[in-house]
């Protein structure tokens, strides 16, 4: 979608002009004020559309309710912009102009909402879905370019997570990482992964014909103020391995690299912002398959930091791959680590698709991330990291097992990961199992991948 900033969006010849309606207040447009029914009061989410019959430069005027003006915030703008854009798509509009008259600048959220709503994964359909092609804005601040890059990163992450596992292979992720501008990128192959001591990650990869790739992308300014590592779970397909999943649970498991897709989306655009820090994007990419060489329940693995793990369930594979990625990040002696993973069905059971789980070792760090998320509509809810969850992973034969009891699974997984993080490094773990991939539309998102985490982590990087 092309974005054009104009002096006055009201005068653009376009298919739809979107204006705002506040509760109990007239709009800026006479046609709407005159012809809208009484039931159109301006409550957030209400929409009234009218054909202008050449009385105005646009074919339609769409008034969208934004609630009470004093309660307006980025989330209300973004969600209702998305709603208006979906209506424009129904009207088969190609060009849309926004004339949102408020005291504040909301260009960022308008762009975010528009891009999210205009997204469609129709790459493999011979007949493409209708899309808005051009957006006109006025009265916006200078952050438009930034907003566009962020929206592109989200789209990239959604496309990649929606891509079938047959194409989005570890090899493909590595190729994409190597294609990004402004980064130093290294990809470690199977033999190097083994040699570097990543016994947990290597074991998970063994059941698949697709070779594993350990991807390390590095961005840096000349004199970085701090160093941060961002890690994405990159299971390109999770069959469960020998502890194979039932068909219904396996159906969406191409999305088990949504964390990796998020990190790739961020790293793709990062150099355009030129932040004054060093960022390491890390992905341990492989498939979890039950091939002849597959790792087995009862196997004892040694992670990169020397700790041993008894495999209790081959379907708890994400934490094994992340264990080695976390060790690798700690060896880089970064100041902070954020990992993002579709890690546990338990997190999905606990929070549904309303929020992602967040855990870590530093509450201030966690709260900063929660705050960044709340500004862009990505909710995070902190889950406990108590000793009880670690106790139930005790093993008779190794330092720990890779699963706990049936209950409290998201916290067990968090406590497992903690074993691979050095105490003096701030660390946050985002469990996006319930939010990365939607089985039915939710808020501004349609079915499928949401690109969750891209906006939160990118904003965190840019603001701290």
Q: Which residues bind Mg ion (CB under 5 A)?
A: 238, 315, 317
- Give me the residues paired with residue 50 across strands: 61
In the list 310, 315, 324, 336, the residue contacting ligand BES (rule: CB under 6 A) is 315
Q: Which of 312, 315, 343, 325 is nearest to 200 (CA)?
A: 325
- Among Zn ion, Mg ion, ligand BES, none, partner that 76 touches (CB below 5 to 8 angstroms by kind): none
Sketch the per residue contact string, 424 through 463, with ligand BES: x for CB under 6 A, - otherwise.
Answer: ---------x------------------------------
Nearer Cβ to ligand BES (59/313): 313
The interface region with ligand BES, picked from 10-18, 95-103, 165-173, 336-344 by CB under 6 A, is: 336-344
- CB 16 within 8 Å of CB 59: yes
In the list 256, 310, 336, 444, the residue contacting ligand BES (rule: CB under 6 A) is 256
- CB 379 within 8 Å of CB 368: no
Nearer Cβ to ligand BES (125/406): 406
Instruction: Single out the catalytic residue among 245, 296, 307, 422.
Output: 245
In a 10 Å sphere around its CB, with 0-12 CB exposed, 13-18 middle and 19+ buried, how is residue 382 labelled?
Answer: middle
Q: Note the residues at the interface with Zn ion (CB under 5 A).
A: 235, 238, 256, 318
Which H or E run contains 229? strand 227-238
The residue number with the shortest CB distance to Zn ion is 238
- Give me the residues paired with residue 308 across strands: 302
Q: How far is CA 190 from CA 196, 318, 322, 415, in A?
A: 10, 18, 16, 28
Task: Report in angstroms how near the CB of residue 436 gets to ligand BES at its nearest.
Answer: 7
Residue carrying the six token digits 């975010």: 112
- Give me the residues paired with residue 49 across strands: 62
In sequence order, the 6+-apart residues with CB closer than 8 A to the CB of 5 are: 136, 137, 138, 140, 144
Q: How many residues bind ligand BES (CB under 6 A)?
A: 16
82 φ, ψ to 5°? Answer: -60, -40
Task: Report in angstroms how near the CB of residue 235 gets to ligand BES at its nearest.
Answer: 6
Instruction: Single out the catalytic residue among 87, 233, 319, 455.
Output: 319
Nearer Cβ to ligand BES (29/258): 258
Residue 261 interacting with ligand BES (CB under 6 A): no
Measured CA to CA, the distance from residue 339 to residue 345 in angstroms comes to 17
Nearer Cβ to Zn ion (212/377): 212
Nearer Cβ to Zn ion (108/236): 236
123 is catalytic: no
Sign of CA dihedral 53, 57, 60, 63: negative
Task: Report in angstroms how near the CB of residue 313 gets to ligand BES at its nearest.
Answer: 4
401 is catalytic: no
Binding site for ligand BES (CB under 6 A): 238, 256, 313, 315-318, 342-346, 348, 403, 409, 433
Which residues participate in catalysis according to the annotation? 245, 319
């Amino acid at each position: 979608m092309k974005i054009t900033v104009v002096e006055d969006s009201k005068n653009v010849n376009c298919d739809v002009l979107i204006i705002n309606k506040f509760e109990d207040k007239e709009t800026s447009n006479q046609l709407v004020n005159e012809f809208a029914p009484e039931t159109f009061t301006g409550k957030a989410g209400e929409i009234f559309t009218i054909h202008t019959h050449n009385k105005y430069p646009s074919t339609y005027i769409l008034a969208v309710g934004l609630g009470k003006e004093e309660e307006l915030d980025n989330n209300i703008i973004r969600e209702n912009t998305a709603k208006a854009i979906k209506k424009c798509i129904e009207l088969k509009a190609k060009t849309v102009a926004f004339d949102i008259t408020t005291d504040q600048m909301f260009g960022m959220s308008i762009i975010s909402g528009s891009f999210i709503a205009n997204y469609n994964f129709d790459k493999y359909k011979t007949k493409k879905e209708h899309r808005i092609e051009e957006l006109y804005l006025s009265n916006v601040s200078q952050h438009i370019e930034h907003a566009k890059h962020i929206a592109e990163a989200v789209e990239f992450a959604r496309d990649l997570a929606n891509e079938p596992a047959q194409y989005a292979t570890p090899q493909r992720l590595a190729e994409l990482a190597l294609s990004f501008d402004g980064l130093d990128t290294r990809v470690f192959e199977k033999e190097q992964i083994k040699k570097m001591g990543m016994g947990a990650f290597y074991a998970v990869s063994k059941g698949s014909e697709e070779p594993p790739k350990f991807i390390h992308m590095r961005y840096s300014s000349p004199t970085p103020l701090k160093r941060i590592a961002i890690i994405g779970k990159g299971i390109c397909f999770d069959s469960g391995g020998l502890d194979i999943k039932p068909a219904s649970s396996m159906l969406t498991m191409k999305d088990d690299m949504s964390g990796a897709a998020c990190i790739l989306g961020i790293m793709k655009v990062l150099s355009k912002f030129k932040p004054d820090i060093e960022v390491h994007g890390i992905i341990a990419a492989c498939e979890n398959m039950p091939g002849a060489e597959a790792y087995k329940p009862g196997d004892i693995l040694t992670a990169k930091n020397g700790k041993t793990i008894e495999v209790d369930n081959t379907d708890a594979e994400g934490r094994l791959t992340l264990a080695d990625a976390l060790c690798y990040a700690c060896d880089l002696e970064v100041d902070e680590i954020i990992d993002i993973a579709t890690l546990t069905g338990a997190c999905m059971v606990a929070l549904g698709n309303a929020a992602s789980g967040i855990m870590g070792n530093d509450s201030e760090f966690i709260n900063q991330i929660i705050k960044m998320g709340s500004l862009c509509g990505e909710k995070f809810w902190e889950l406990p990291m108590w000793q009880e969850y670690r106790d139930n992973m005790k093993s008779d034969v190794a330092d720990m097992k890779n699963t706990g009891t049936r209950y409290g699974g998201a916290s067990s997984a968090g406590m497992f990961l903690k074993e691979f993080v050095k105490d003096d490094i701030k660390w946050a773990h985002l469990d996006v199992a319930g939010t990365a991939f939607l089985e039915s539309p939710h808020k501004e998102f349609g079915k499928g991948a949401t690109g969750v985490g891209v906006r939160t982590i990118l904003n965190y990087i840019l603001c701290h």
